[in-house]
């Protein structure tokens, strides 16, 4: 019996690890694409249009709110870039804080604390009350993004673990 528990725990840890690795690879690929778009544009490669267009689905890409690299604007605005870099930082820190043996969501107060600064700033800019500098948007996005992998990895891993449990049951 103890062997079974140990074996299932080992499987559990491995599955969480697999989800973690895929998330890490995904966010690295995602951020690489953000930097790749202006580089490809500087080389006049047509692929840059596909990357810019893909990111236009989730970002306004206003020139005044984007950072510039290789002489061209990045594929997302400074706030979105901050969120994605924060997500990467959170993913890197995930095993140090949570490990792979536990699946638990952060307290919802953590999420609200991380959301308040970016929320106030976004609303202020949206209603033209103030205009935040790009670096500050990046930092606020980073603060929000750093908590997100703790939700994402937990949710996806839990889904696949439950899926496997139900399949075994059947």
Partner 1 sequence: MNEQRPGMFIPALIGGGIAGLLAGIPLVSCLCCLWIIGGGIIAVYFLAKDSFVALSPGDGAIVGVFSGIIAAVVEFLISIPLAPLENKLFKNLLVELSEYMDEMPAGFESWMNNSFQAPLYMILLGLVISVVIFSALGALGGVIGISIFKNRTIKSSQGVIDVPKNSIKTENSDNSKS
Residues that bind partner 1 in the complex, under the rule CB under 8 A:
49-50, 53-54, 56-65, 73, 77, 79-80, 83, 103, 105-108, 111, 122, 126, 148, 151-152, 154-156, 158-163
User: DSSP alpha helices (H): ranges in 57-133?
Assistant: 78-97, 108-126
In contact, 68 and 39? CB cutoff 8 Å: no
User: Tokens 């107060």 correspond to what residue?
Assistant: 109
**Token output for 170:** 């059947």
Nearer to partner 1, 35 or 151 (CB): 151
Closer Cβ to partner 1, 3 or 123, answer by number:
123
Q: What span, in angstroms and rounded, lies between the C-alpha atoms of 56 and 143?
A: 23
Residue whose entry in the numeric block shows the structure tokens 């924060």:
86
Q: Write down the least CB distance from residue 40 to partner 1, Å.
A: 16
Residue 32 CB, nearest approach to partner 1 (Å)? 16
CB of 9 to partner 1, least distance (A): 18
């Amino acid at each position: 019996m103890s062997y079974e528990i140990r074996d299932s725990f080992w499987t559990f840890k491995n599955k969480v690890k697999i989800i973690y690795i895929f998330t890490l690879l995904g966010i690295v690929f995602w951020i690489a694409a953000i930097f790749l778009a202006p580089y490809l544009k500087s080389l006049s490669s047509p692929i840059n249009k596909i990357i810019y267009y893909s990111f236009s689905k989730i970002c306004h890409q206003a020139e005044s709110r984007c950072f510039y690299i290789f002489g061209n604007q990045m594929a997302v605005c400074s706030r979105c870039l901050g969120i994605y870099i924060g997500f990467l930082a959170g993913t890197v820190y995930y095993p140090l804080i949570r490990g792979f043996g536990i699946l638990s969501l952060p307290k919802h107060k953590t999420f609200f604390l991380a959301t308040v600064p970016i929320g106030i700033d976004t609303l202020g800019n949206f209603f033209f009350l103030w205009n935040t500098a790009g670096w500050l948007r990046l930092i606020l996005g980073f603060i929000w993004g750093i908590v997100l992998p703790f939700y994402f990895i937990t949710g996806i891993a839990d889904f696949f673990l439950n899926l496997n449990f139900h399949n075994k049951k059947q």
